[in-house]
Structure 1
Amino acid sequence: MLKAITAVFVIKVDGIKVTVKKGQVPDYFIREIKLIQRSAQAIQGKIYGMRRGQQINLECSSSIPENILQRLRNVWKPNPSPKNDGGLKRR
């Protein structure tokens, strides 16, 4: 519960449904989550964007496997620029 309060953003992933519960998330990141879902790796849980100094790092609930979290970390840009991906949007 404390993570959800202190997180910059919270994304809930439930099977094929991806919902931003708090904050704003870059479009490219939502697309990557959906790509993972389509690759027959249905996941359920929450992904948190936690501020660490000037960067936003990713953390997740224990129901999301570490290999999936690592895949998301590989594409995550710690300081996303709105100019690079068409803006930050809430879905």
Structure 2
Amino acid sequence: MTITLTNDQRAWLEAHVSRGDYGSIEEAVRQLLDERIAESELIENDDLAWAKPLVDEALAEVAAGQTISLDEHARRIDALLGAETRAKTR
């Protein structure tokens, strides 16, 4: 199999090989590909059970009326950003 790298990819790989991060471009490509495959498998196999309590909590807050309007949210964000800007100029 032949894979053609872009100039930017080759330059990045060469720089990291010359720094000693990898023994060769081939080693770097294999390692980076292995890492990306592992990440993809984690995402693909995640049943998101960890998120269920967070979703349930948010739904309970909505049911209890603990919400604000989009306009109120925008006002609060504007106020926070304004306060940050004022603090930086002091």
Q: Could you state the TM-score of these two structures normalised by the residue count of structure 2?
A: 0.26
Of structures 1 and 2, the one with the larger relative CO (CA 8 A, separation 6+) is: 1
Give the strand-richer structure, 1 or 2. Answer: 1
Structure with higher Rg: it is: 2
Name the TM-score, length of structure 1 as normaliser: 0.26
* Greater share of residues in helix: 2
